[in-house]
Amino acid sequence: MTDLLYWLDLFGIIVFALSGALMAGRYQLDPFGVVVLAAVTAIGGGTIRDVILNAPVFWVEQTYYLWTISITALLTIVFIRKPKRIPKRFLLIADAFGLALFAVLGTEKALSFGASIPAAVVLGTITGVAGGMIRDVLCNVIPMILRQEIYATAAMVGGGTYALLYWLGWDNQISIVVSVMGCLVLRLAAIYWKVSLPAFQIVESEEK
């Protein structure tokens, strides 16, 4: 793993762990609950990806991921006293950074294990969205991936961009940076301007 991949991956773990810890604070979980929610948010998607790829689960082989998650969760408890006062948009922004990083890095890892380009994009999307989905389900919130918000779409754009640049033979680090920025800009724009996909709705006619 290059230095760029290492630091991007670590940063993604931190921001997703922060996202999970902030969500735990909003629902007044105890410290153990904060660590658990931070962990499932940070490593849930990558775990599913590795199991599907039949690859060694990354945090089992490299336990510094668990230490990073635990430290992030505990620092959040210490320094953020009143999570309910934190604007919801801050949680969404932290989640957006994690989404962009993991969607692209998940696609990169899937391609490195020989997955086809469509499968790699799907696995990258799973890497980006599954952790947040588990977090939301545990907090009894409808996951963002199932709502109108541009969330999974942004992850697919990031992963698809990386796969395209990989196919075109671009430099790997440049491809990662461009793809992460594309996903991040799309997600942040959707948050800022409240852009969403149209909802599917069935209107039942009144029985006569």
- 207 within a domain of the structure (yes/no): no
Total number of domains constituting the chain: 1
Phi, psi of 52 (to 5 degrees): -65, -40
- 200 within a domain of the structure (yes/no): no
- The reported pTM is 0.92
Shortest CA distance to 68 belongs to which of 18, 2, 28? 18
Dihedral (Cα; 172, 176, 178, 184), 10-degree rounding? 180
- 108 within a domain of the structure (yes/no): yes
Tens digits of per-residue pLDDT, 154-164? Answer: 999 999 999 99
Residue 79's pLDDT is what? 86
- 203 within a domain of the structure (yes/no): no
- 202 within a domain of the structure (yes/no): no
**To the nearest whole number, what is the mean pLDDT of the chain?**
91
Tens digits of per-residue pLDDT, 167-204? Answer: 999 999 999 999 999 999 999 999 999 888 777 777 77
Residue 147's pLDDT is what? 76
Mean pLDDT of 100-108: 97
Give the C-alpha separation, 30 to 114, whole Å. Answer: 42
Q: Using an 8 Å Cβ cutoff, are 144 and 132 in contact?
A: yes
Residue 110's pLDDT is what? 98
- 25 within a domain of the structure (yes/no): yes
- 153 within a domain of the structure (yes/no): yes
The residue segments making up the domain with residue 117 are 3-193
Residue 88 binned pLDDT confidence (cut-offs 50, 70, 90): confident
Q: Using an 8 Å Cβ cutoff, are 121 and 107 in contact?
A: yes
Residue 144 binned pLDDT confidence (cut-offs 50, 70, 90): confident
**Residue 176 neighbours by CB distance under 10 Å:** 25
Tabulate helix, strand, coil % of the chain (nearest 5).
75, 0, 25
- 173 within a domain of the structure (yes/no): yes
Residue 84 binned pLDDT confidence (cut-offs 50, 70, 90): low
Residue 1's pLDDT is what? 54
